[in-house]
Structure 1
Amino acid sequence: MGASGLLWALTVMMIGGLMSIDYVVHVRRARVPTLRQAVVQSTTFVSIGVLFGIGVLIFGGPSLAVEYYACYLTDEALSVDNLFVFLVIISSFGVPRFAQQKVLLFGIAFALVTRTGFIFIGAALIKNFHSAFYLFSLVLLVMAVKLAKPAAREGRPADPLNRFVKKSVLARIADRFLRTSPNYRGDRLFTVENGKRMLTPMLLVMMTVGGTDLLFAFDSIPALFGLTQNVYLVFTATAFSLLGLRQLYFLIDGLLDRLVFLRYGLAVILGFIGVKLALEALHDNKLPFINSGNPVPIAKVSTPQSLAVIIIVLTITTLASLGSARGRARTAIRRARRYATEYLDVHDSTDPAERNKLFAALVIAERQVNALPTKYRPPAGAQDDVMVLLRRAHAVRDAHR
């Protein structure tokens, strides 16, 4: 599927148009999408990605379609894991829930631009240095080991990442050289305080989310090139998987902590693709210190086989996570923490009916936490002890009576 300049231009225009429509229709006005809106929007973008694959099938043939879908599924799975980090960053900066859509859309736009650069760099390396497959294979195997390490198994390291965000170079530079306000003004990037124009935390968190995504490209791009060397397919699979990420954030917000085995699955997938790349590099070997510079007669893994492995691994890890008692416990704790934090953040001017509705949800979540087995309850004295937040919420509730 040799992509012509016209096809590239039309594709870029379509992706830019989709992002513009998403901003104008859903993001420009600060609001929290309802579950129904998140479902409709997420389904729409996933359908667009799937339909594009059907277009690849019609105009490019079954082989390229399989490569596209393998890349799309892999990048979508890696993107879901990246949502954990976005969640920690957003929580660390205390971004109001109604303003999170704009932060995510900026992060996605920045990610698309930076990953496009990585894609063309990777393509140039492969074209001029076939031995780059060895490097890509090593990167993926290292990433797989890091994901499978015990430190990563217990979920996202919220406290260390919170400290990293707060002490990041970006935050320190902004505090030292720029006029920054600690207060949000809706979803505005700038505000005026005491007659001075200042940055709000919104701009800082947007830049932090976008900058952090640079790290994600180091595992996603080599993984995609391990499935196909077609630059156009790698780009489109990346773009369409990123486009639905904002809606997916709100759709599976309550399920992120439930996916306790996702990292296992991603470790297996990255390790598998790393081995696949190593086999391909050996099959076309030109390094003089390996088999005297001659190709190694070894079997290669086909793309259909790769797609089957990816689907099976993601299915098993998702089903295992949804049935996990530890995952259900994390979901209950996170829900209680979220409702307690939101209730503590509401102002006296908030509609009493809305405040009562939020407190009712908090009480239900609190009961679920209290019903958890002792081994799944959060340890007392933790930095973000959910029980402390719940007691504070009850104290505020009593003060309003």
Structure 2
Amino acid sequence: MRERPGHPTLFDHWDRIAARVAATRQAIEHEKKHGQGNRKHKGKRAAWSIDRQRLAEVQKVIHHRHGGACDTDDGPTYLRAAMPHLLRLYGGGDEGHDKICGWAAVWLPTMAQGDVSAAVEKAFRDDPPPLKADTLAGLLNMHRDERTALSLRTIGAVDQTSRERADERRRKDAAYRTEKRRQEGATPREQSAEQREPWKALGMSRRTYYRKLAAGTLPEAEKPVGTDPSAIVRSTYNSRQSSATASGLSVPGPAIKASPRQAVGADGPSPGARTRAVPAGHAVPLPLPQEGFQEHPDFFGSDDAWISLGSALDYAGGLMPPEVARAVRAAQRARSMTQEAVARHIGISRPQLANALRGRFGLSRSAASNLCAWLAAA
């Protein structure tokens, strides 16, 4: 055999395989010495490797299909499937050659020894890599039913892709976990989701569900267990009378702890109070003097800043006259209200009211009507 400089020879392949087998055996011996990889020592399992499992599964397929050793002409197919793993387990050289031929004599007795030796020599030269799961399934013509019956893990199926097998594993794992939770007494997730969000099962929104529940219009079968619709009443807090109302019963103390911030409402400053927008003509602020009020009274009691409500109540929309803007600001201070609260009573936003007071934009007829009603509210 002619050798070229730098070109690996057959002996180089054998040396690499022998070195790899020696390292594997050294690692196994180390695990056995420290209590790992030895079934007899402390109940530990034998050292696992993909080569051992693949070879064991090929042998399982041979035994299942032939009732023992292969008695047909399928021996070269099984030898091709097992050869890469036999090389990894037994290595090269004469020792590896004899062990591989011995394995073939046990599981492939109908195959001639010359054919086995030729296949081993060719594998020593080529050093073939292990076959993929789907490639090996096509070689062995493995189907899903047979794969499931034999509990194979490293051999695929010709009628099932790797993605489908992964999805099936996830479904089985989810079913196992569900059954485990059920045995432990946990509530199923589907039932728990229905209890947390019952409105989805009824085909309605959360707001509609609770509105109907509070009104008592839900059927008896759809009402949640242990819920009394009459008890769902918004608790209120009155700054003048410290009492909370819930389910029609008056109990001492506020129902909700007041926040430290000071919000100004229609009845003056109160902890945690919030103003709400009202329809046109239904403003309920504090009454103002019918004859008018002073905008900025000075120290000597001058009447130059006296404002009359009569001129302000004639405002019908558009750009706001200066006297109307002054009346609104004065009424806001007299009633101790914020600009946000005034805008809510009128039915507009705070920026709209601010621009209207500065004469940048005008108000619509409805907003002007609400403004006049708010000024003239008794």
Shorter-chain TM band: under 0.3
Normalised to the residue count of structure 2, the TM-score between the two structures is 0.19
Normalised to the residue count of structure 1, the TM-score between the two structures is 0.18
Which protein has greater RCO, CA pairs closer than 8 Å, 6+ apart? 1
Q: Which has the larger radius of gyration?
A: 2
